[in-house]
Structures are given as C-alpha cells and as structure tokens.
C-alpha cells in the first residue's frame, strides 16, 4: 500500500505552486536534507494529524481556443485526477469564478473523486465575502485560504486528510510474509527485461523506445518458499524531458510503487553510468526508508578487465554517497547473467530493513563506540549519550537521548551509524537516528 496522493489542480496563477511550496518547506512536511540527495520538486511527502501523504504539484489548466492545446490540457487534467486519491482544487478569490474554473469543476464532478475546494488569496474581508460565490461550482464547501499570509492552511489540511477515511493508506491489507519489490530507474535501462527474467514470463512490454512502460505492474512470484510481489514501473526522466502528460503522471505511479514496496531495485545502464536523474530517483527511495539494491544492467556490453567490478563499485560509492549501505549486483537481462542472484539479495535486504535490536545490546554497542571515540565537546560542554532505543523497523529507526542535542554533530552521528552497521549489518537498508534531549518524551 502506498501513501495517498493529493493532486493540486486549477488554472494558472491561482497559487497552486505557492501552496505546494509552503507544505513542502514548512514543518508540516517531512523533507529530509540528506547530503548527496537531490530531486525535482514535482512532489513532496507531507504529514498532518498522523496522516502521511504525497502532495503533487500540477501545471495550470488553461482552456484555449486552439483545439489541440485544449485537448492536451484536458487530457493532462484527467490523468492527474485519475491517478490521485484526493483532489485539491485551487481557485482565486480576487478574480471570482472563471470559465476555466467552471470547466475544471465539471471534470472533477465527473471523476467521483474526493475533492477539497481551496479559494486562495482570501486575505481581506472583501475577498472572504467573495468566497461564497464558489458554492456555485457544485464542488462543495469552499475553504478560504491565503497562501501569501499562511491563513487557513490548518483548516485546509484538516479537510484534505478527512477525505482519506479511517486508514492512512489505500488498498488491500498487506501480506506480512510477502516481500514487495519495485524496479525503478530512468527509461530504457532494462527494468522491464529484468522484471520479465525475475517473474519468468514476458509480463511487461520490452522495447528500446524509452517510456514504453506507463503503469506500475504487479506480479506475485514464489521462489524457494518465499513470496515476492514484483512491481515494474514506468521509467522516470527529468521534468524538462517530459513532454507527454501521460508520461509526466506515470512518475506519480512510480513514486507510489516505491511507497508500497519493501525493497527497491535501482537499475542503472552500465555503459551510461550514474546520472543526476539516477540520484534523484534512488534518493526518493532512500528518503522513504526502503531497502535498496543497486543493479547494474547491460554488464555484457561494458568493456571489462579484471578490476572492472571493483572500479565500477568505487565509482558508484563516490557518486551515491548516501547509499554506502546498498549492495551492488552486476547483471545482464539479455544473457540472464547473475539474474538468479537477485531474489536472494532481495530477501536479505528485506530482512535487514525489518531487523530489530534489543535495547540492552544496542546500548552496549553505543557505549563501546563512545569508549573508542569519545563524544564531542562544545563551549566546555561534553555530549553525553544517556540512553538509546529502537522505535521502528522498515527502516530501523533509533531514538538517542542526550544531554545537549545541539552538540550531536552530523559527523559523530554518522560515526555511530557506522558502528551499528559494523555490529549488526543493516546491509541494504538506511538507518534513521532521532536525537532527543533528556527531558523530551520518548
């Protein structure tokens, strides 16, 4: 199951992107500043009232006279609406209801999707009175907000999460014994070929035309008594290269697949190497706390010598500094070279991602680490680690209570992470550490 997707739609210049950026950059949002991770701002993971969801910014919908443009824009709106679980429809209180607003409202009513109507720029008593006009759209109760002045945003998010129902996510209950595996990567790196080799049949269309796979495809497989659910996804590419609305919104499906899975197979083209877009794609999986395996495909086409594997792995570690923990598997989907190894590596990464460490053993390892490398000092005060406990799995998440949280430098936190990995493994999974003061509640 993935996080609910909330698509922000509306005509241009009503404040969609302003609202999106507020949610993405404020404390409402969970946006992790991890060194080495960059990504486009098409989406942001947000949290409100114990609900976590993905917010997606969309282009402004314009109804123009040119038939081709009008059809294209309508298609774009319909795809965004179809892929989302909740629609946040944004209008402008200052300009009132426009023809474009009415046209978009008609599409939304036909979709039967839950809709929240936000009337932006309601930052004066006059504009607040104008909000009542928007009842005429037939969407429901308009919620006055001002993105510029941060007014009404709590009420707006209350309305959004109320549409999720009783559960934070959508879909059927999870099978705890099933390992969900998403294959992600740029277009044309061989994801579908690897997917077909893993499931043992031609399940996905294989083509050398980038972008062939539009939807996330699920296929259950049993190997050596272990159940897997393999999810093939549409290739993700830079926003500037996304001309077709269908391809643009296939990214939403791919991100949802990452949210649903336990382990990600990040597929690279051996010849092309690592690109900035690769970093963005796998960075999302890392931030989402998924198990990660780096799969270098087309290894049969790479010019090799007896040190090629070692040198290529060093290059990957240098380019993907935040993924030092991820195992690397060199494969060829064409020759089936080492494809048979992937299920074993996947099962191991899933096991590591779900590992739980007892509190006593955890604190002993940290105590030993401090003895080897004493905690830092600042302004005459020394950092004291009082207590540590694991609070979550998938990924393993630890709360460390200290006397002075501000003295816990990033470098020392990384040192502790390395010591935990030395002691327990945690191969193929990120580790999260939460540093709290001694007076903060667990």
**90-142 residue pLDDT tens:** 999 998 999 889 988 988 888 889 999 999 999 888 777 789 999 999 999 99
Residue 414 included in any domain:
yes
229-244: per-residue pLDDT in tens? 888 775 555 545 544 4
Kindly report the length of the chain. 442
Rounded average pLDDT over 156-178: 71
Q: What is the pLDDT of residue 314?
A: 97
Q: What is the pLDDT of residue 174?
A: 53
Residue 171 included in any domain:
no
Instruction: Specify the number of domains making up the chain.
Output: 3
Q: What is the mean pLDDT of the chain?
A: 82
Question: Same domain, yes or no, for 266 and 340?
Answer: yes
Rounded average pLDDT over 197-211: 60
Question: Same domain, yes or no, for 75 and 140?
Answer: yes
Share of the chain above pLDDT 70, in %: 78
**Beta-ladder partners of 227:** 178, 222
pLDDT at 73 over 70: no
Question: Same domain, yes or no, for 87 and 234?
Answer: no
Residue 168 included in any domain:
no
Question: Same domain, yes or no, for 121 and 154?
Answer: yes
Q: What is the pLDDT of residue 69?
A: 53
CATH of the domain at 102: 3.40.50.300
Question: Same domain, yes or no, for 344 and 372?
Answer: no
Question: Same domain, yes or no, for 338 and 308?
Answer: yes
pLDDT at 377 over 60: yes
Q: Which residue has the higher pLDDT, 440 or 385?
A: 385
C-alpha 303/C-alpha 299 separation (Å) is 8
Rg of the chain taking only CA atoms, in angstroms = 24
Q: What is the pLDDT of residue 251?
A: 60
Residues 6+ apart with CB under 8 A from 53: 3, 4, 5, 6, 45, 46, 47, 85, 86, 160, 161, 164, 168
21: confidence class by pLDDT, cuts 50, 70, 90:
confident
Residue 172 included in any domain:
no
C-alpha 439/C-alpha 290 separation (Å) is 31
pLDDT at 224 over 90: no
Q: What is the pLDDT of residue 56?
A: 78
Residue 170 included in any domain:
no
Share of the chain above pLDDT 90, in %: 49
Residue (of 431, 434, 419, 421) closest to 322 by Cα position: 431
Residues 6+ apart with CB under 8 A from 179: 226, 227, 228, 229, 262, 263, 346, 347, 350
Question: Same domain, yes or no, for 184 and 333?
Answer: yes
Question: Same domain, yes or no, for 106 and 194?
Answer: no
Question: Same domain, yes or no, for 52 and 98?
Answer: yes
* Structural domain boundaries enclosing 125: 5-162
Question: Same domain, yes or no, for 237 and 365?
Answer: no
pLDDT at 202 over 70: no
C-alpha 289/C-alpha 261 separation (Å) is 10
Residue 167 included in any domain:
no
300-348: per-residue pLDDT in tens? 999 999 999 999 999 999 999 999 999 999 999 999 999 999 999 999 9
Residue 340 included in any domain:
yes
Domain end call among 310, 338, 353 = 353
Q: What is the pLDDT of residue 64?
A: 56
pLDDT at 403 over 50: yes
263: confidence class by pLDDT, cuts 50, 70, 90:
very high
Question: Same domain, yes or no, for 319 and 210?
Answer: yes
Q: Which residue has the higher pLDDT, 70 or 180?
A: 180
Residue 442 included in any domain:
no
pLDDT at 398 over 90: yes
Q: Which residue has the higher pLDDT, 22 or 248?
A: 22
Q: What is the pLDDT of residue 90?
A: 94
Q: What is the pLDDT of residue 22?
A: 83
pLDDT at 172 over 80: no
Question: Same domain, yes or no, for 28 and 47?
Answer: yes
pLDDT at 214 over 60: no
């Amino acid at each position: 199951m993935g996080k609910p997707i909330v698509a922000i739609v509306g005509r241009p210049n009503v404040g969609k992107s302003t609202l999106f950026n507020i949610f993405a950059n404020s404390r409402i949002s969970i946006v992790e500043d991890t060194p080495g991770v960059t990504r486009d701002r098409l989406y942001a993971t947000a949290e409100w009232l114990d609900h976590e969801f993905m917010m997606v910014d969309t282009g402004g919908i314009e109804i123009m006279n040119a038939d081709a443009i009008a059809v294209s824009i309508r298609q774009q709106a319909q795809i965004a609406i179809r892929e989302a679980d909740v629609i946040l429809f944004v209008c402008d209180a200052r300009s009132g209801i426009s023809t474009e607003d009415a046209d978009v409202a008609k599409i939304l009513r036909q979709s039967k999707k839950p809709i929240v109507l936000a009337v932006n720029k309601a930052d004066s008593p006059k504009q607040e009175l104008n909000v009542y006009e928007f009842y005429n759209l037939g969407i429901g109760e308009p919620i006055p907000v001002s993105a510029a002045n941060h007014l009404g945003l709590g009420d707006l998010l209350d309305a959004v999460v109320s549409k999720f129902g009783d559960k934070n996510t959508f879909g059927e209950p999870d099978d705890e014994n099933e390992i969900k595996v998403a294959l992600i990567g740029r277009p044309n790196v061989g994801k579908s070929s690897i997917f077909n080799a893993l499931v043992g049949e031609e399940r996905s269309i294989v083509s050398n035309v980038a972008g062939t796979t539009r939807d996330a495809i699920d296929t259950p497989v049993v190997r050596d008594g272990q159940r897997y659910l393999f999810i093939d996804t549409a290739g993700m590419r830079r926003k500037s290269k996304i001309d077709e609305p269908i391809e643009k919104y296939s990214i939403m499906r791919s991100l949802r697949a990452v949210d649903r899975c336990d382990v990600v197979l990040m597929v690279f083209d051996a010849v092309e190497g690592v690109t900035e877009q690769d970093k963005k794609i796998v960075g999302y999986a890392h931030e989402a706390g998924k198990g990660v395996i780096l799969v270098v495909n087309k290894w049969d086409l790479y010019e090799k010598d007896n040190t090629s594997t070692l040198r290529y792995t060093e290059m990957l570690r240098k380019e993907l500094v935040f993924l030092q923990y991820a195992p690397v598997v060199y494969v060829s989907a064409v020759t089936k070279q080492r494809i048979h190894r992937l299920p074993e590596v996947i099962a191991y990464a899933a096991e590591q991602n779900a590992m739980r460490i007892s509190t006593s053993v955890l604190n002993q390892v940290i105590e030993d680490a401090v003895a080897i490398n004493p905690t830092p000092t600042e302004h005459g005060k020394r950092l004291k680690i009082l207590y540590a406990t694991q609070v979550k799995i998938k990924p393993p998440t630890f709360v460390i209570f200290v006397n002075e949280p501000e003295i816990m430098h990033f470098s020392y936190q990384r040192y502790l992470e390395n010591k935990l990995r030395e002691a327990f493994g945690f191969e193929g999974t990120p580790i999260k550490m939460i540093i709290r003061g001694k007076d903060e509640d667990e």
